[in-house]
Amino acid sequence: MTTLSIEVPESVFSALHADPQAFAREMRIAAAIKWYELGKISQDKAAEIAGLSRAAFISRLSEAKVSPFQVTAEELREEMEGAD
């Protein structure tokens, strides 16, 4: 596993009521959720980045109000047309 170091102002910990470890954990989850939402990574890869099981990641998607389904309107339309 690779370790990354980033500089973060001390004030963010008190603003988020988190210690550095909790902040880093939440940052990983937030990044994974956003990258998944943007379609940059799969659900499996996002769960891995977040350090969560896939089920736990789906739960966090729900909390963030992000759909666990990555289907475009066009893909859905094609599926619906193919169902006839």
pLDDT computed for residue 79 by the predictor: 83
Classify the C-alpha dihedral 51-54-56-58 as positive or negative.
positive
This prediction has a pTM of 0.81
pLDDT tens by residue, 54-64: 999 999 999 99
Q: How far apart are CA 46 and CA 57, in angstroms?
A: 8
pLDDT tens by residue, 22-39: 999 999 999 999 999 999
Using the predicted structure, report yes or no on whether residue 84 has a pLDDT greater than 70: no
* SS3 state of residue 47: helix
